[in-house]
Amino acid sequence: MKKIIFSLAVIIGSTALLNAQDIQYGVKVGVNLSNLDVAPESDPPAPSMRLGLNVGGFAELGLADNFWFRPELTISTQGANDEDVEVTQKVKLTYLNATFLAKYNLSNSIYLFAGPQVGFLVDGEFEEEDKVSGEQDIFNADAVYKNLDVSVGLGIAYNFDMGIGLDLRYNLGLTDNNDDPQENAFYNVNQELKSRVVQLALSYTF
């Protein structure tokens, strides 16, 4: 499934580039509220959201009067927090995300967009701290978590004057990223871990 989504994104991107009527470039920076969908929930309890950042660049390829193709490349800090009366657990993940969006002009300044995203895990760790003893365990994310995350993004954007834009999106993870069959960290082998990320970003188009 990952290979199919990635191959389709490359084909669509190449076709869009060949047929683009206009090309613009820009940069973006924003905040993430990320979480993990854990199923089934057991021990630890359901995670809570973690605050992170996203920063990167994009291109916008005009294909028709109201339709654009927008590839993005961003660095995104994601993860989740878990806490109960005994332990505090944190998942800290940094991704290089390649995003491929179809963008539609709904009205003068309002746009809707959707498309796939492929995230490459570049750094991260799982942290667990015992509240009673103060003991802490740290696990490298690449030892217990898959390196490739596939998701789909949906959102809405508003473009102001002078190339400034604001977009709100939700990235729904499609892949089970649990890669810890020995249960070295704090999720068990039967739990699926899928990313969930809400992003708010400010952009500037040159």
Q: What is the pLDDT of residues 42-94, one digit of tens each?
A: 765 668 899 999 999 999 998 878 899 999 999 999 999 988 778 888 999 99
Among 73-77, 126-130, 162-166, name the most confident range. Answer: 73-77
Question: What are residue 66's DSSP bridge partners?
Answer: none
Q: Give, rounded to a whole angstrom, the gap between the first and last alpha carbons of the chain.
A: 35
Answer for the pair 52, 58: CB distance below 8 angstroms, yes or no. Answer: no
- Residue 18: pLDDT band by 50, 70, 90 thresholds? very low
Cα–Cα distance, 163 to 206 (Å, whole number): 7
User: What mean pLDDT comes out for the span 115-121?
Assistant: 96
